[in-house]
């Protein structure tokens, strides 16, 4: 307790009284984070409930409650995390922002990644962050993923980072195949969970067999009535393959 | 998607063209949609969820995913939608016509 007190005195003098509370109690930001994320979830559930209860299209368009604005919550959570970025609650807040799309925002995204990189580079929770960074045009993503791949100690974070790096390369240009392949092989041979290895094998298969100019692999299966048919039945025709679902 | 696909199929009736679906819905739902949306083209039923064998083999992670193949079965376009899809199909049909 004595040590904690001294520590807090030091911090109080160093960073100013306004952030004293945040800096001295470990759970402070965690509680703030829980409160905000819970509030968001409750608003979201209220929206879904209202939507389900609405009977007509008109009612659905004029629901009494709105879907909560994730950007607004991202801003609040970022401001909170910036108070004391090394706090575990700040980590949760930053991960929340990523999971809710805030990392694709040009203003929020770079700040979130910079804080995660500086204060939470060793965290297991970066797995999901890296996964999200496979997509989006944020240029800071590449550096973040490279750093996570090199310095994060967890195998599935490294796996997620390598997978995302490969996927980003392919999105940038179809000519990046060879380089992307190195990352996918890294996931298969060295890092990565079972599901990450499976995903990397899928990407390699797509690179080798589903590229423009390749003969499409055979598809054999049944329609909804159980009648069998195959793709090669349609040789001689121009074919559009449409992977679809009604959702 | 449905209205555009319907018009594409209608426009190309009688041409050497086929629209083929790979569907990830549960069977009951697929039956309902086929009826409700008046879907005349064929679909493979891929096991009722997005982890079906065909979608997995084709590394599909987003829906819809579109591939356009020429009459030799070669993949020529990936991902065109709406007007770009029409153009892709028309280009390949013209190519086929020329080869005859």
Largest Cα–Cα distance in chain B?
43
CA–CA separation, A169 and A141 (whole Å): 12
Of A211, A239, A245, the CB nearest to B69: A239
Are A246 and B25 an interchain contact pair (Cβ–Cβ within 8 Å)? yes
pLDDT, residue A27, reads: 62
Dihedral angle sign, alpha carbons of residues B87, B90, B91, B92: positive
CA–CA separation, A209 and A114 (whole Å): 38
> Within 13 Å of residue B46, how many CA atoms lie on the same side as its CB?
24
**List of chain B residues whose C-beta atoms are within 8 Å of the C-beta of residue A238:** 15-18, 68-71, 89, 92-93, 96
Average pLDDT for residues A170-188, to the nearest whole number?
A: 90
CA–CA separation, A186 and A196 (whole Å): 11
The reply to whether B100 touches chain A by the CB within 8 Å rule is no
**List of chain A residues whose C-beta atoms are within 8 Å of the C-beta of residue B22:** 219, 241-244
- Count contacts between A and B (CB, < 8 Å): 147
Q: Over pLDDT 70: what percentage of chain A?
A: 89
Which residue in chain A is spatially nearest to B43 when comparing CA positions?
A223
Residue A216 is classified by DSSP as P
pLDDT, residue A213, reads: 95
Kindly report, residue by residue over B14-52, the tens digit of the pLDDT.
999 999 999 999 999 999 999 999 899 999 999 999 999
| A155 SS3 class | helix
CA–CA separation, B47 and A5 (whole Å): 61
Backbone angles phi, psi at B42, to 5 degrees: -85, 145
Domain boundaries, chain B: 2-92
Which residue in chain A is spatially nearest to B70 when comparing CA positions?
A238
Confidence of residue A136 (pLDDT cuts 50, 70, 90): confident
Kindly report, residue by residue over A15-40, the tens digit of the pLDDT.
433 444 444 445 679 999 999 999 99
Are A243 and B21 an interchain contact pair (Cβ–Cβ within 8 Å)? yes
Nearest of A42, A99, A47, A109 to residue A75 by alpha carbon: A109
Are A241 and B67 an interchain contact pair (Cβ–Cβ within 8 Å)? yes
Question: Domain B2-92 is of which CATH architecture?
Answer: 3-Layer(aba) Sandwich (3.40)
Kindly report, residue by residue over A36-81, the tens digit of the pLDDT.
999 999 999 999 999 999 988 888 888 889 999 999 999 999 999 9
pLDDT, residue A246, reads: 87
Average pLDDT over chain A reads: 88
Kindly report, residue by residue over A214-225, the tens digit of the pLDDT.
999 999 999 999
Are B17 and A224 an interchain contact pair (Cβ–Cβ within 8 Å)? no
pLDDT, residue A247, reads: 77
Least confident interval from A24-28, A101-105, A125-129? A24-28
Are A235 and B50 an interchain contact pair (Cβ–Cβ within 8 Å)? no
Average pLDDT for residues B50-71, to the nearest whole number?
A: 94
Tokens of A141: 């993503």
Residue B25 near residue B48 (C-beta atoms within 8 A) = yes
Confidence of residue A5 (pLDDT cuts 50, 70, 90): very low
Q: Which residues, other chains included, contact A4 with Cβ-Cβ below 8 Å and sequence gap of 6+?
A: A24
pLDDT, residue A14, reads: 38
**List of chain A residues whose C-beta atoms are within 8 Å of the C-beta of residue B21:** 241-244
């Amino acid at each position: 307790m004595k040590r904690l007190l001294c520590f807090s005195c030091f911090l109080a003098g160093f960073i100013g009284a306004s952030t004293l509370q945040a800096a001295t109690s470990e759970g402070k930001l965690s509680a703030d984070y829980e409160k905000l994320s819970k509030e968001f979830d409750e608003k979201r559930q209220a929206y879904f409930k209202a939507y389900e209860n609405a009977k007509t299209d008109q009612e659905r368009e004029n629901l009494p409650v709105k879907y909560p604005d994730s950007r607004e919550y991202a801003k609040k959570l970022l401001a909170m995390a910036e108070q004391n970025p090394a706090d575990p609650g700040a980590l949760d807040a930053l991960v929340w922002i990523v999971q809710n799309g805030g990392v694709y925002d040009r203003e929020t995204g770079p700040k979130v990644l910079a804080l995660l990189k500086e204060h939470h580079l060793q965290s297991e929770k970066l797995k999901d962050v890296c996964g999200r960074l496979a997509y989006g045009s944020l240029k800071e993503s590449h550096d973040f993923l490279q750093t996570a791949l090199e310095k994060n100690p967890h195998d599935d974070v490294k796996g997620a980072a390598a997978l995302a790096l490969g996927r980003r390369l392919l999105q940038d240009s179809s000519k990046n195949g060879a380089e992307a392949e190195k990352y996918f092989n890294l996931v298969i041979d060295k890092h990565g969970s079972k599901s990450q290895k499976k995903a990397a094998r899928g990407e390699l298969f797509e690179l080798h067999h589903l590229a423009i100019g390749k003969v499409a692999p055979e598809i054999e299966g049944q329609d909804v009535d159980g009648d069998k048919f195959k793709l090669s039945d349609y040789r001689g025709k121009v074919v559009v393959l449409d992977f679809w679902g009604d959702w | 998607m449905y209205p555009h696909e319907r018009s594409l199929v209608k426009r190309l009736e009688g041409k050497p063209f086929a629209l083929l679906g790979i569907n990830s819905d549960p069977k009951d739902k697929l039956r309902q949609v086929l009826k409700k949306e008046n879907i005349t083209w064929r679909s493979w039923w891929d096991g009722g969820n997005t982890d079906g064998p065909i979608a997995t083999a084709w590394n599909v992670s987003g829906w819809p995913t579109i591939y356009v193949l020429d009459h030799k079965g070669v993949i020529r376009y990936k991902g065109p939608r709406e007007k770009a899809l029409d153009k892709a199909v028309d280009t390949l049909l013209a190519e086929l016509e020329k080869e005859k």
